[in-house]
Amino acid sequence: MVMQRIVKPKTQKGRRFLENRDGKITENTKSAMFIKGGNTSITVSQILKELYMLKKPHAVMYKRKNILRPFEDETPLEFFSKKSDASLFMFGCHSKKRPDNLVLGRLFDFHVLDMIELGVDKFTPMAEIEGPKCSHGTKPCLIFTGEVFEQDKEHKRLKNLFIDFFRGPSVKNIRLAGVEHVISVTAIKDKILLRNYK
């Protein structure tokens, strides 16, 4: 039998860091990592950047290209998760077989829990849409439209993943006049439409 020695922190900063990583009764707001793959298109890069802006301040962007294959080997994702203390990730890549590809996933205790792969058909950047833009850090109202979100098992999981991804901090009360940001997710046939409104 081997006893493991418990290393106590030497500084206040180290103590606070370890306390932040301990188990809690009420969970922290989930942070997300946005990771570029080894080969990314302009579309994928813009999508990662804009979703990062929506998720800010609870987001980390890895701008360097990372050669990862999430479905083959998840150890690099687990390493990045531990490094940035994030429990959600979005990985973007582009290849001939899978053009404009996004992988969304969750981690639990720095191990991959589940992942969903999505292909992008059409993307319009927020800069091209006229009108006022949402301020950073506003809590969005999530709207899911489509019967498949209640009937199909895969769509239920996707809905749950989107709720985890965009939920933000937990609040007890909300002022109706302060609801200014809406994220609409619509399921039509085999497509998912994600729209952002102010």
Of the pLDDT bands very low, low, confident and very high (cuts 50, 70, 90), residue 135 is low
> Quick check: 179 pLDDT over 70?
yes
Strands 191-197 and 59-66, sheet pairing: unpaired
CA distance 106 to 30: 10
DSSP class of residue 106 equals E
Look over the chain and give the mean of its residue pLDDT values, rounded to a whole number.
82
Q: State residue 3's pLDDT score.
A: 58
CA distance 179 to 143: 13
> Quick check: 27 pLDDT over 80?
no
pLDDT tens-digit map of 46-69: 888 888 888 888 888 888 877 788
- Residue that is written with structure tokens 């006229």 in the block: 130
> What is 28-197's CATH topology?
Rossmann fold (3.40.50)
> What are the residue boundaries of the structural domains of the chain, listed by start?
28-197
Strand order, beta sheet including 182-188:
141-145, 182-188, 191-197
Of the pLDDT bands very low, low, confident and very high (cuts 50, 70, 90), residue 137 is low
